Amino acid sequence: MLGAAHGATTSRARRAKDPLATMCGIAGTYDPSVPRGRAPALATRAIIGRMAGAIAHRGPDADGFILDGPVALANRRLAIVDLSAAGRQPQFSADGQIGIVYNGELYNFHALRSELVARGHRFASSTDTEVIVHAYEEFGDACVHRFNGMFAFAIWDRRGAGRLVLARDRWGIKPLYYAHVGGTLAFGSEVKSFLELPGFRAELDLDAATEYLTFQNLFGDRTLFAGVRTLPAGSLMTIDGEGAPRMTRWWRPRFEADGDRGEAWYVTGVRERFEEAVRRQLMGDVPVGSYLSGGMDSGSITAVAARQIPHLHTFTGGFPVAGLGVAEALTDERAAAEFMARTMGTEHYTVVVQADDLPRLLPELVWHLEDLRVASSYHNYAVARLASRFVKVVLAGAGGDEIFAGYPWRYAHAAGTTSLDDFASRYSDYWSILVPDTEKAGLFVGDLARAARGFRAADRVREVVDDLGDLARTDPLHLAMTFEARTYLQGLFVVEDRVSMAHSLESRVPFLDDDLVNFTSAMPSRYKLRDGVGKRILRKAMRGLIPDEILAARKQGFAPPEDTWFRSELAPYLREMVDGPRARSRGLFDPAAVGTILGDHAAGRRNHKKLLWSLACLEQWQRTFLDGERPASGAAPSARRVGGHL
């Protein structure tokens, strides 16, 4: 069994003085040159310790290790369920032959545990971690199909020739990266663990940078770090002593109608499954709160949660609106959020993000984000910091738009699609939101220009939907929704995980509960979008749960007024970041073209806020990971409490 004879396992608990623990993180290495049964080298012990230390912000409650021949695994734990010592990681099968380190939550683990007990399994803890071990023991790799939740885990199975299993949840809510460093496979929740590996050097992947600067996202498994990949959502990687790692995709998002049972049936089904999903995700032995914007998604979650938790803590963010135009002023959702907080009786807190918060927050954000993705997110980072002062777990509305067709203006580009090639052409034009293919030659120079010569945005879109030819002919809306679930939503989850984990906060997403997603995926698309109105079935299902004013309101994203800020208070900062001496020294962009972009935005000729944000983030990424600058945490933006009871 795993132990001193064949390796080493340790678990050290810490009595946290700060009640704000973070969610779990994992890290590990697999070196096939090390024989089974050999005690780990002191160097390996030190390296895995440093890898775990690099992600200590994900779990300061305890750490634990498995060191056994070719395998070194580490966990940083956030105690959410079963706060006792029995809940520490790693955890093992009864015979000690199977061990796990794990990041996530299984919301159906009680039912699975009962099933496994009936099959003869015996448990030493009340954790979902141990349920995964026994489920793997009982069902093998197919155990992942039984898990309703978010997870990334590494299992070391000493039986037979020995086997390492890496797995990620259906939607990729929890991250898992990997890289080959020499002859060793390294993996972990965050790339910064790899910075502790001898032989690993952070370098910019120019192909990934080209894709990021096209879509403000990455559609495949690349990252901005050369040689570092993300294990795709819904995937398994298995490694044994007999060959190279093998990848299996066990689930992919796909929306496709399965008959039509009538609107009333779907309204009832959505309401029942949604309420059950929220109740399921309130599980835990620590305080749980909810984000609360002015929209339907977070409002619906809060309404259900508030019925279960008296004086539920809720959190939102806003911006100063003086001097803004009407469109930008609407992005401040404080008034609508406070209205819902009063209606639902929550204890509500807000944070106000100012323009001058960006220069201070960006180094922190990029350090934690690592894998740059969609939209600006320093305001989300600030709201997560606020929430972390009061709760360990927060419910978020991510996924509501993606499963209920919340973006009608985007799907319009897919209307009338006749083939996958036609769809790829249309959607690549729309999603090339930063630098379209036709403009790359005028902006990119040097190695980046050479990398971009072989890039075609339409080819990247086509690769994502290659298995969806039937939908191109029968249901363009479901084709568009599937594409966005496989791309845009993946980017959102990178951001969601990092901004919360940075502040010792577990973020849960009830809209992506398996039962709810399975139900909505098979629903005819006409119940989701009709006459230009999205989320029709959700609006009907939520009637009576949240105020009619919220149900009828137009969708409004949570975004800072950067169009104005980048032309006024932040203009000098942006110019230094994207066109200063350090940025020019990178040799990636033509200075004259960058100057034109800045000038056009300043003069109001073109709104380049997304491109300017992305260029600033990329420069900060290079300062952080290539130049070795580490951020110093600053003071939080101003916060205030609205209503509720202390």
**Which CATH number covers residue 148?**
3.60.20.10
Asked whether residue 108 is domain-assigned, the answer is yes
Cβ count within 10 A of residue 18: 7
Print burial letters for 189-199: b (CB count within 10 Å at least 16), e (below 16): bbbbbbbbbee
Co-location of 149 and 39 in the same domain? yes
Cα separation, 78 vs 284, whole angstroms = 11
Residue 434 lies in a domain: no
Residues of the chain with pLDDT below 70 are 1-23, 60, 78-87, 242, 555-557, 633-646
Q: Residue 637's pLDDT is what?
A: 45
Q: What's the pLDDT at 10?
A: 40
Q: Is residue 231 part of a domain?
A: yes
Are 76 and 116 in the same domain? yes
Domain limit, last residue, from 552, 571, 594: 552
Q: Would 305 be classed as within a structural domain? A: yes
Domain annotation covers residue 143: yes
36, 69: one domain: yes
Is 508 a member of any domain? yes
SS3 296: helix
Is the four-CA dihedral 542, 544, 545, 551 of positive or negative sign?
positive
Same domain? For 279 and 185 the reply is: no
Residues 26 and 158 in one domain: yes
Residue 135 belongs to a domain: yes
- Does 280 share its domain with 240? no
Q: Are residues 228 and 285 in the same domain?
A: no
Could you tell me the residue range of the domain that residue 85 belongs to? 8-198+224-249
In three-state secondary structure terms, 183 is coil
Residue 631 CA to residue 454 CA, distance in Å, equals: 35
Six-digit token string for 277: 């999903």
Single pTM value for the model:
0.92
Read off the pLDDT of residues 83-99 as tens digits, 9 standing for 90 and up.
Answer: 455 567 899 999 999 99
Rounded Cα gap, residues 492 and 148, in angstroms: 20
pLDDT of residue 79: 57
Instruction: Give yes or no: residues 234 and 276 share one domain.
Output: no
Boundary (domain end) residue, out of 500, 529, 552: 552
- Residue 228's DSSP bridge partners are 179
Other CB atoms within a 10 A radius of the CB of residue 516 amount to: 23
Residue 323 inside a domain? The answer is: no
Count up the domains in the chain and report the number.
2
Same domain, 88 and 176: yes
> Are 182 and 312 members of one domain?
no
Rounded Cα–Cα distance for residues 229 and 221 (Å): 5
Do the Cβ atoms of 594 and 578 come closer than 8 Å?
A: yes
SS3 of 16-32: CCCCCCCCCEEEEEECC
Task: Kindly list the strands in the beta sheet with 25-30, ordered across the sheet, starting from the edge strand earlier in the chain.
Answer: 8-13, 62-68, 71-77, 25-30, 184-188, 177-181, 228-230
Residues 602, 607, 613, 614, CA torsion sign = negative
120 and 163 part of one domain: yes
Crossing angle (nearest 10°) for helices 334-344 and 296-308: 30
- Identify the CATH number of the domain in which residue 507 sits: 3.40.50.620
**Residue in 63, 59, 55 with CA at minimum distance from that of residue 18:** 59
Same domain, 268 and 244: no
Give CA separation, 434 vs 154, 370, 449, 611, in Å.
Answer: 37, 19, 15, 5
Q: Which two tokens stand for residue 449?
A: 């220009």
